[in-house]
Structure 1
Amino acid sequence: MKRLMIADSSDVVRKVAHKILSELGYEVSEASSAREALTTCEAQLPDVIIVDSGIDGALDLITNIRSMPGGTAARIFYCVIEADLKTMMRGKRAGASDFLLKPFDRQILTKIFDQRAAA
C-alpha cells in the first residue's frame, strides 16, 4: 500500500482528502503544519505528498523533503488555489513534481490518485 501525506492547515480539507484517498487504497497521514510534515517525513517518507501552498514554510518543506535520502523519489503535489504562474514556478523550483488546484473534490482526486486506474 502506498503512503500518502496531506500537509494542509485546514482540518476540513485534510479530513475530506483523507477519507477519499484512503478509499483509493492509500495509507494516509496528515500534517497541519510544515514542521509536523517534516517530522513525519523524517520518520517515514511517504510515496506521495500533497503540500498546500498556504501553509507557512511550504516551499522550504518541499526543498527539505527533496534533500532527504530517498526524497527525490517522492511525488510531491504543490496545492494552489489558482493557476498563478509565479506561485507554480516557485513550487517547481522548490522541487514540486506536479500541481493540484484547490478546491478539489472526489472526482479530481480519483482521477489523479486512483492506483487501480494507474495499474
Structure 2
Amino acid sequence: MNYCLIIDDSRVIRKVSRDIVESLDFRVSEAENGEAGLEACRTEMPDVILLDWNMPVMDGYSFLKALRATPEGRMPKVVFCTTENSLDHITRALEAGADEYVMKPFDRDILAAKFQELGVLPASHSA
C-alpha cells in the first residue's frame, strides 16, 4: 500500500486531505509544519507528499529544499497544495523539486488525476 504524508498547518485541511487520500487506498500520516514533516520522513520516507506553502516553524518551500538535499529525499513525489497561485510561486516550487502543484480547494477527482499522472495511483482508482 502506498504511503502519503500530508504536511499542512490547518487541522481541517489535513482531515479533508486524509479522507480523500485514504479513499484512494493510501496509508496516511500528518505533520503540522515542514520541520515535523522532515522528522516524519526520517522515520519513513513516503511515496507521495501533499505539501502546504505557508506554515509556521518551517514553510513548504524550505521543507522541499531540505528534503531534496538528502539522498533518499529524491524519491517521494511532492504535490504542493496551496492558495499561492502566482507564477513566481509555482516556478519556485517546481525549481525546488515539486512534481505537481494543486490549488486549494481541491477534491478527490483532482488528487486522483494528479496521483495517476505521477504514477503513484493505478488507473483502476479513477475518480
Instruction: Give TM-score scaled by structure 1 length.
Output: 0.89
- 2:48 counterpart of 1:42: no
1:113 to 93, 115, 119: 115
Q: How far did 1:82 drift?
A: 4.5
Aligned equivalents of 1:73, 1:106: Cα separation in 2: 23
Q: Which residue of 2 aligns with 1:73?
A: 75
Q: Which residue of 2 aligns with 1:58?
A: 60
3-state DSSP of counterpart to 2:110: helix
CA shift in 2, pair 1:44/1:107, >3 Å: same
Q: Amino acid of the residue matched to residue 99 of structure 2? A: S
Instruction: Give TM-score scaled by structure 2 length.
Output: 0.84
3-state DSSP of counterpart to 2:64: helix
3-state DSSP of counterpart to 2:73: coil
Q: Which residue of 2 aligns with 1:92?
A: 94
3-state DSSP of counterpart to 2:91: helix
Aligned equivalents of 1:15, 1:96: Cα separation in 2: 22
* CA contact 1:24–1:113 (8 Å) conserved in 2: no
Which of 76-85 and 14-23 deviates more?
Answer: 76-85
Aligned equivalents of 1:107, 1:63: Cα separation in 2: 28
Which of 38-47 and 56-65 deviates more?
Answer: 56-65
Q: Amino acid of the residue matched to residue 102 of structure 2? A: L
3-state DSSP of counterpart to 2:37: helix
Aligned equivalents of 1:91, 1:118: Cα separation in 2: 29
Give the RMSD, CA atoms, in angstroms. 1.7
Q: Amino acid of the residue matched to residue 81 of structure 1? A: T
Aligned length: 119
Q: How far did 1:81 drift?
A: 1.3
The C-alpha deviation readout for 1:72-116, integer Å capped at 9, x for no partner, is 121011122143100111112221111111111122223223623
